Structure 1
């Protein structure tokens, strides 16, 4: 069984939910307090033992490449001013085996993954979506890698969601529990109506896939929205080799929409050493003010 060494981070989306900010700025560069969202994804990959990462980007995504590139002028300035902590922080973003591939047209997640075929070769790999930040004692990507070590099969991360929210996700139809937290799956349903959803276990933004997925993707016809859906390809793969689902029980932060992004900034801000005390006090004052306003409006 080959070791899981590589990760694919799709980052070619247009980011329309964050316009006008994303007209010229990559959505993946929107900060959570003081760190771009994509850096959290890269850090999760490294903590999980991933050695090589490819970012599948598109037009107007140059800021991602610049962020992970060296900046000699900035580093020299910080060194001269003896701002050692900041210098270390900046240099850590370049100490990564990071590669970039351009997806010429946004044809969907499946096409973005297919774009990385030459980089991955015949190895198992992980796909990490930038809209989801995950927190747990063991990184979610590492959990998927551990499951693969036990099964040798593709494994998707899933999480229980409110039943009325199943229309927002791909949802699994589990057949039985292979072992605690790991499900055999009959099929995967993309954004079902809640009345038709086979479970409340929704696919979240981490996948571990065997290289056979590329042959399937090359034959997968466009689905919803005229895009090549990764879920469709995984369904096909599941007919010839088992695909498992690993239930994630840690904390998930959805930064793919405005409210989720603001909520995540508050949550992370309350843990950030530089701003947590000020933010906590501000939230107390804001809460008291909102209560007063509500009472006055009654």
Structure 2
């Protein structure tokens, strides 16, 4: 029987440079997708998948993240005094239970691998998930839930992958696979290969389940691309000792750390809302008609 995945690390210490100037004053993880911060969706995915405790890694000027996941007593009282119990109840639903979230600070911007390593003492000696907060992954079954079900059957390490256009592969971390009697396994990992050299068009899309041995590798790892401690480099080293299994996610993924992905995510989530979909769809149709008229 494989050890259950109970904890998740969510690295949220980045500067959000692709979303400047908005992120000068608002953490990129709190930028709203319709009426909820991006990070709220990521935390909700973790708990909906069966995670019991989330560790959010923050940095300087990210105190608003801790405030968001706290109980807003004053707002709750004001709403209920005004008779807005439905809104107050909805806010309460997005407040995690006491003790279900911890916060640690990445005191130096040393990369994703270092951010994951900073949470090692809370995770301890057990498998854990990693969810990148930029990547909003939408499907009927949460991506992490499918990965945790796969882990229940096989154990080991799991990485979510998706397919991109081959000519776009140089923009991503790419995996190559090998067929085995135990199903497909990751045979290689390369971060942003030179154009035309990618071993496949399967890219790592922002969800991981990892075994605790990776912490020792991260602790002693030399800086890689960009002078940072790269999680991919530690996974390459781990691959020599443990299996890494792919999970191909077939839902929709939005890179909310980029303006185009952020806008697309807002449109997608708004169109799926019963209270907003018709209005937003009408505005899209009006804009399209206006562009056709000009053309």
Residue matched to 2:249: 248
Say if 1:183 and 1:246, in contact at 8 Å, map to a contact too. no
Structure 2 residue matching 1:196: 3-state secondary structure = coil
Q: Deviations over 1:64-108 (max 9, x none)?
A: 111111111100011111212210121122233111000001100
- Structure 1 length-normalised TM: 0.95
Q: Deviations over 1:190-213 (max 9, x none)?
A: 111231100111001000000001
Residue matched to 1:215: 216
Inter-partner Cα distance in structure 2 for 1:253 and 1:80: 38
Residue matched to 1:128: 131
Structure 2 residue matching 1:217: 3-state secondary structure = helix
User: How many angstroms does 1:178 deviate by?
Assistant: 5.8
Residue matched to 1:147: 150
Residue matched to 1:62: 63
Inter-partner Cα distance in structure 2 for 1:251 and 1:76: 38
* 1:192 is the counterpart of 2:189: no
User: How many angstroms does 1:162 deviate by?
Assistant: 0.7
Inter-partner Cα distance in structure 2 for 1:28 and 1:164: 29
Residue matched to 1:24: 25
User: How many angstroms does 1:177 deviate by?
Assistant: 5.8
Inter-partner Cα distance in structure 2 for 1:177 and 1:69: 47
Residue matched to 1:86: 87
RMSD, matched Cα: 1.2
Say if 1:171 and 1:202, in contact at 8 Å, map to a contact too. yes
Inter-partner Cα distance in structure 1 for 2:275 and 2:82: 20
* 1:116 is the counterpart of 2:119: yes
Matches within 5 A, 1:149-298: 149-176=152-179, 183-294=184-295
Inter-partner Cα distance in structure 1 for 2:9 and 2:145: 15
Q: Deviations over 1:94-123 (max 9, x none)?
A: 233111000001100000000000000001
Inter-partner Cα distance in structure 2 for 1:7 and 1:264: 23
Inter-partner Cα distance in structure 2 for 1:178 and 1:203: 23
Say if 1:216 and 1:233, in contact at 8 Å, map to a contact too. yes
List structure 1 segments (4+ residues) > 3 angstroms apart after TM superposition.
none
Residue matched to 1:76: 77
Inter-partner Cα distance in structure 1 for 2:89 and 2:167: 45
Count how many residue pairs are aligned between Structure 1 and Structure 2. 292
User: How many angstroms does 1:269 deviate by?
Assistant: 1.2
Matches within 5 A, 1:43-62: 43-62=44-63
Inter-partner Cα distance in structure 2 for 1:282 and 1:93: 29
Say if 1:57 and 1:100, in contact at 8 Å, map to a contact too. yes
Inter-partner Cα distance in structure 2 for 1:51 and 1:255: 25
- Structure 2 length-normalised TM: 0.96
User: How many angstroms does 1:229 deviate by?
Assistant: 0.4
Q: Which runs of 5+ in 1 are unaligned?
A: none
